[in-house]
Amino acid sequence: MTRDIHMVDVTLRDGSHSMRHAFTEEQVRQVAKGLDQSGIKYFEVTHGDGLGGSSLQYGFSKVNELKLIEAAAEECSQAEVSVLLVPGIGIKDDLEDAAKAGAKMVRVATHITEADVAKQHIELGKELGLKTVGFLMMAHMASVDKLVEQAKLFESYGADTVYVTDSAGALLPDQVTERIKALKDQLNCGIGFHGHNNLSLAMANTLAAAEAGATYLDGSLRCLGAGSGNTQTEVMAAVFERYNYKTGIELYPIMDVADDVVAKFMPRPQEINGSSLIMGYSGVYSSFMLFAQEAAEKFGVDERDILTELGRLQAVGGQEDLIYEVAREISEKKKQRTVS
């Protein structure tokens, strides 16, 4: 099969979660330069929770994201910088500032059932001349019919592409295929997929998405991202080449930026541990992992218990404060059992 695939690298955005939002300007410049030289067309740069995410609730950035966007754009001769915007975290002014700093694409992210909150942001992106994307997060939490309904809203607002976003790394390959095919049948815009590796299925799911018709596919170098990370960009490049998809990516250069740049500043290898496995199994938002670890230590409880309960409660992004509430309740119940 010969078909064009647009690989979008999210190392400098999703990887911000794993880095505790502490990317330096020099790190961003090195990664941006390497991605540009490898042939990547789009890569994302913002706080892990998108424009405006630097805050007490989500974690403060070490360096202002506008400075990082500008630095990344300066390193590009052909690649273009994308930004993430979650309505309610980022505002229209943030997007205007990002465009001035050099962003050429905006991905407006909402919960799977809340695409209607993104209308003004998608429309602003179009007004600013940006490539606009609708990002439907936690895609495992709604039916295929609901997914199609919400994707059509994004398309009606002017989105050039709509993504199935497996924020929890909970989808199985057949579920990805079903969702992508449904969007392919019902929409006229581009279709994308963003995966997480909490069940060790990120590459399988990404390949399933490509085979079902998605042409925009996300990855991160060395899997650097929330939870157990994302589909590994350099592995994607190799696998897609084996399948004869056209990505425009040079394999050795993309491997070099992963091994010689990203690997050297990663705080830890991205691996599937008990906590991230529970996240995928229970359908928990991948960026909750570090918060759950901190809460578990503070209250002296098992972080897996926290994550399991968050899955039962169907917690979504923006409810980080619930993590500590759940940990406290588990701790109190544990003390009560001990006393009795």
User: For residue 273, what are the contacts with CB-CB under 8 A and spacing of at least 6?
Assistant: 228
Same domain, yes or no: 331 and 256:
no
Q: Is 167 annotated as a binding residue?
A: yes
For residues 170 and 146, membership in a common domain is answered with yes
Helix, coil or strand: residue 132: strand
249 and 319 part of one domain:
no
Residue 312 predicted with pLDDT over 90:
no
285 is in an annotated binding site: yes
Does residue 237 share a domain with residue 180?
Answer: yes
CATH number at residue 324: 1.10.8.60
Distances (CA, A) of 158 to 117, 192, 321: 14, 15, 34
- Helix, strand, or coil (residue 46): coil
Q: Is 196 among the annotated ligand-binding positions?
A: yes
Q: Within its chain, how far is the Cα of 233 from the centroid?
A: 13
Whether 226 and 310 map to the same domain: the answer is: no
Question: How confident is residue 10, by pLDDT bands cut at 50, 70 and 90?
Answer: very high
Same domain flag for 314 and 255: no
Neighbours of 102 (CB within 10 A): 18
Give the range among 2-16, 108-122, 258-272, 286-300 with minimum mean pLDDT. 286-300
| 133 residue type, one letter | V
Last residue of a domain, one of 247, 265, 283: 265
CATH number of domain containing 60: 3.20.20.70
91 with 112, same domain: the answer is yes
13 is in an annotated binding site: yes
Say if 1 falls within a structural domain. Answer: no
Are 244 and 279 members of one domain? no
Report the predicted TM-score, pTM, of the whole model to 2 decimal places. 0.92
- Indicate if 70 and 44 belong to the same structural domain: yes
Do 95 and 191 belong together in one domain? Answer: yes
Q: Provide Rg for the chain, Cα atoms.
A: 19
Per-residue pLDDT of 79-130, as tens digits, reads 999 999 999 999 999 999 999 999 999 999 999 999 999 999 999 999 999 9
Provide the domain count of the chain. Answer: 2
Is 17 part of the annotated catalytic residue set?
yes
Average pLDDT, the chain: 94
- The per-residue DSSP string of 144-212 comes to HHHHHHHHHHHHHHT-SEEEEE-TTS---HHHHHHHHHHHHHH-SSEEEEE-B-TTS-HHHHHHHHHHH
For residue 336, pLDDT beyond 80: no
- Asked if residue 47 and residue 174 are part of one domain, the reply reads yes
In a domain, 184, yes or no: yes
Same domain, residue pair 204 and 63: yes
pLDDT digits (tens, 9 = 90+) for 228-267: 999 999 999 999 999 999 999 999 999 999 999 999 999 9
d(CA 267, CA 258) in angstroms, rounded, equals 14
CA nearest to 249, candidates 210, 205, 219, 207? 219
Q: Is the pLDDT of residue 319 over 80?
A: no
Q: Name the percent of the chain lying above pLDDT 70.
A: 99
Identified catalytic residue from 17, 47, 111, 140: 17
Written as one letter, the residue type at 83 is V
Domain edge (last residue) among 218, 242, 265: 265
Look at residue 289 in the predicted model and tell me its pLDDT.
Answer: 82
Boundaries of domain holding 127: 6-265
Q: For helices 25-38 and 65-74, what crossing angle results, to 10°?
A: 40
Residues 33 and 73: their CA atoms lie apart, in Å, by 9
